Structure 1
Amino acid sequence: MLNQPLKPMLLQPSQTIKPDWLASLKWDGFRAIIHYQDGKTRAFTREGNEITASFFPELSQLKLNCRSAILDGECICFDLLNQAPGQPPKAWWDDAMARFHTKKEAAVKKAAQTMRAHFPVWDILFLDGKPLLNKTFLERREHLKAVAGPADIVSVTPLYDDGEQLFARAKELGLEGVVQYRPDSFYSLDARPRNVWEKVKAYQYATVQVSSMKRNEFGWGLSMGGKYVGVLEFPPPAAERKAFFKIAKQITRGENKDWIFVDPVISCTVKFQCFTKDGKLRSPKFEAFCT
């Protein structure tokens, strides 16, 4: 198990907060499984891709209070370049993706100066030669807190009893949402079991205009106040698509080999996860046309 890619337990999506479960903030990065052995660290994505080289400046500094361990958590990246005076740096999904795709050693060292990686962890699967999968979540958390104290590289994700209050705070701050954990649950590798872990996303909503459409596959270019804010890649229901294309023929104003451009007079409501660093909508999904 140690130093071998493994597929972690996945979360079930939910729209409700369970009052008797524990909750934590949902981090805006990507899943990272950390393998630690005798002072050396390797990291893998949930698909089993090794990312150690992309984050070696941070991972090489990690020291845990054990001989070996496998930790389950997230990789996030803080923007140090645009940090406001007197304020903590902000974590951006864009920066986590930029670090993920940076491979060359010199480029990684340079990126780490302005996009510092951090690994908030919430579970431990393996400790000093012994698997912990059949211990309860609360038992595993006790082991995790003993192994991973507060540090610049790894931190233990705080848990809260009041999931509703935490979710409301996440929405207020424009964060991604919350994760909930059943306290007595066990850990199942490469599975998405029900009634174990759940994620509740705090979607944001916006009214946008459709300003273009892809020629050879579905995709609507979106704008807000005349500014391009991304592409709707998830198709609306067939009836809505048919109604749009019927009107689009009358408002087409140009095209190239990839796009057909239309007057931005058709508005719709979309839900999305957050704004990206450059002001675009992350993963927008169609809700309804505006009357």
Structure 2
Amino acid sequence: MLATAAPAAGVPADGDRWAYEVKWDGMRVLADVHEGRVSLRSRTGRDVTVTFPDLADLADAHADVLLDGEVVALQDGLPSFAALAERMHVQDARSAAAAARRTPVTLMAFDVLRLYGVGLLDRPWQERRESLDRLPPSGSAWQVSPVYPDARSLLAATLEQGLEGVVAKRRTSVYQPGRRSPDWVKHAHRRHQACLVVGWRPAEGSSHRMGALLLAVPAADGRLRFVGRAGSGLSSALEEDLRARLAGHEVAEPVVDVPRVDAKGATFTAPVAVVEVRHLGRTTGGRLRQPTLRGLRGDLDPSDVREE
């Protein structure tokens, strides 16, 4: 179940009918615990159990439960998407274990969909939440995401603390898998967009180092549309990951219409890599304003990218 974007008026403010949670800056997963084993799946259904061995302790705490939540990497008490992005694409067990030692993660659970063999999808959010609150967290593997009664106070607090935003949930709502429902409403303090990499330009003074990525997003009709280039946030670690992902996917001509000023000196690629970008809105021409790269989205396939 996915949230819809809040209208200009903001999230609903009726605390009797709505509950409010922090919008965590992480990776959405379903954690399925059954018969002493835990299975983790991303929002797109990809198995990421090997990627996050630090969540294996979930299997020791509860006999049968299906949790919905966000995997976050906390740094100085705040989620760091950049740190998490370095772990998203890891599929080798040994590499994942080493990454877990360097950058441990936590599952911030905000819903329970099955408990002791009983499906809870058709139960109201309030009942599911009460069931979740009765489950003791298992060490550092997971925490229950807190619920707050007042939208205005939580919006102000999350903005001040540099958190992602707020999600409002209708207390009577049932869980609708895969649907973007108006019963969940999200307000993000910062704008994000998953983008397809369609090429890169070299750094100034170097013909080999990446200096900026050329980005595209599918339009409403499904055709790719160029949305600009981004160099801010292009770390050496991100460049290394991108080179591995793009290897063998260079193309002679861009797959989208790229303005000449952006295409100059660029290496073009097939749209096989997805990156997360923070931005300040869009120009009248559709380009992202002041885009900053946040990391490679290993949890998304190119076909999952949609304009936010």
Instruction: Classify the secondary structure of the residue corresponding to 2:51.
Output: helix
Name which of 229, 243, 248 aligns with 1:221: 229
Give 5+ residue unaligned stretches, structure 2.
Answer: 193-210, 217-224, 235-257, 269-282, 296-306
Report the TM-score when normalising by structure 2: 0.63
Name which of 112, 133, 157 aligns with 2:100: 112
CA distance in 2 between counterparts of 1:26 and 1:163 reads 12
Q: Say whether the 8 Å CA contact 2:166–2:186 is kept in structure 1.
A: yes
Q: 1:97 to 1:214 in 2, by over 3 A?
A: closer
Deviation (angstroms), 1:256? 1.1
CA distance in 1 between counterparts of 2:289 and 2:167 reads 19
**Residue in 2 aligned with 1:28?**
25
Deviation (angstroms), 1:214? 5.2
| Superposed counterparts of 1:48-67, under 5 Å | 48-56=45-53, 58-63=54-59, 66-67=62-63
Report the TM-score when normalising by structure 1: 0.67
Task: Provide Cα deviations, 1:28-80, integer angstroms capped at 9, x if missing partner.
Answer: 11111000013211100111100001112x1222256542010010111234x
Q: 1:214 to 1:144 in 2, by over 3 A?
A: closer
Instruction: Classify the secondary structure of the residue corresponding to 1:72.
Output: strand
Give 5+ residue unaligned stretches, structure 1.
Answer: 1-8, 80-87, 206-210, 231-244, 260-267, 278-284, 286-291
CA distance in 1 between counterparts of 2:62 and 2:123 reads 18
**Residue in 2 aligned with 1:202?**
189
Q: Say whether the 8 Å CA contact 2:167–2:184 is kept in structure 1.
A: yes
**Residue in 1 aligned with 2:13?**
19
Runs of 4+ in 1 over 4 A off after TM superposition: 211-217, 268-275
Q: 1:204 to 1:69 in 2, by over 3 A?
A: closer
CA distance in 2 between counterparts of 1:50 and 1:272 reads 34
CA distance in 1 between counterparts of 2:291 and 2:132 reads 30
Amino acid at match of 2:56: S
Q: 1:162 to 1:272 in 2, by over 3 A?
A: farther
Deviation (angstroms), 1:170? 1.6
Q: 1:272 to 1:164 in 2, by over 3 A?
A: farther
Q: Which has the larger radius of gyration?
A: 1
**Residue in 1 aligned with 2:67?**
71
CA distance in 1 between counterparts of 2:63 and 2:148 reads 29
Amino acid at match of 2:187: V
**Residue in 1 aligned with 2:2?**
10
**Residue in 2 aligned with 1:208?**
none
Deviation (angstroms), 1:271? 6.1
RMSD in angstroms over aligned alpha carbons? 3.4
**Residue in 2 aligned with 1:121?**
109
Q: 1:63 to 1:272 in 2, by over 3 A?
A: farther
Aligned-residue sequence identity (percent) comes to: 24
Counting matched residue pairs gives 226
Instruction: Classify the secondary structure of the residue corresponding to 1:147.
Output: coil
Deviation (angstroms), 1:204? 6.6
Q: Say whether the 8 Å CA contact 1:121–1:156 is kept in structure 2.
A: yes
**Residue in 2 aligned with 1:137?**
125
Instruction: Classify the secondary structure of the residue corresponding to 1:165.
Output: helix
